[in-house]
Each structure stands twice: as C-alpha cells, then as structure tokens.
Amino acid sequence: MAKFDWHADTIGRDTPVNKTYRSTQNVRRFMTAECGAGFRFDRPFMLWIKDGTPKTMGDVVDEWIRRQSVM
C-alpha cells in the first residue's frame, strides 16, 4: 500500500490519521470545508490529533466541532 500524501492526496472523513499525518494546506482546506471558515489549528488540538490513538479525519472534524461547542 502506498504512503498517503497529506500534501496532495484526497482527504475524506474516512481517511485514517496515521503516523505520517501532517497539518498541511491540503488538511487545512479539508477542515475548513468541513468545519467552516472559523476553523483554526491550535496547539492542544494538534497534539490531540497526533496522540497515537486510532482516528479518522471524520473524528478530527467531530472533535474540533465538539471543542467549539464547549467554549
């Protein structure tokens, strides 16, 4: 299986977050499309994404939205 290219490959909600994950412009475009223009990365959120627990980009979207609703 080819290594996922976080810069160029198509990202969907079912895309697994793996140890090669990078917060690229491609990821930012996906997150903005899913979460709206107010999407921003912050340090705690970025650490959560890369904490080693299995997740998909859909989980990442859902977590960002959840964090916004508790603020």
Query: What percentage of the chain carries pLDDT values higher than 90?
Result: 93
Q: Note whether residue 2 is domain-resident.
A: no
CA angle 24, 50, 12 (to 5 degrees): 55
Residue with tokens 């705690």: 44
Maximum pairwise Cα distance, the chain: 40
Task: Report the number of distinct structural domains present in the chain.
Answer: 1
d(Cα 9, Cα 6) in Å, to the nearest integer? 6
pTM of the model: 0.93
**Is the pLDDT reported for residue 1 higher than 70?**
no
Q: Note whether residue 6 is domain-resident.
A: no
Q: Note whether residue 7 is domain-resident.
A: no
Task: Find the domain containing 27 and state its range.
Answer: 16-69
Q: Is the separation of the CB atoms in 9 and 35 below 8 Å?
A: no
**Is the pLDDT reported for residue 13 higher than 90?**
yes
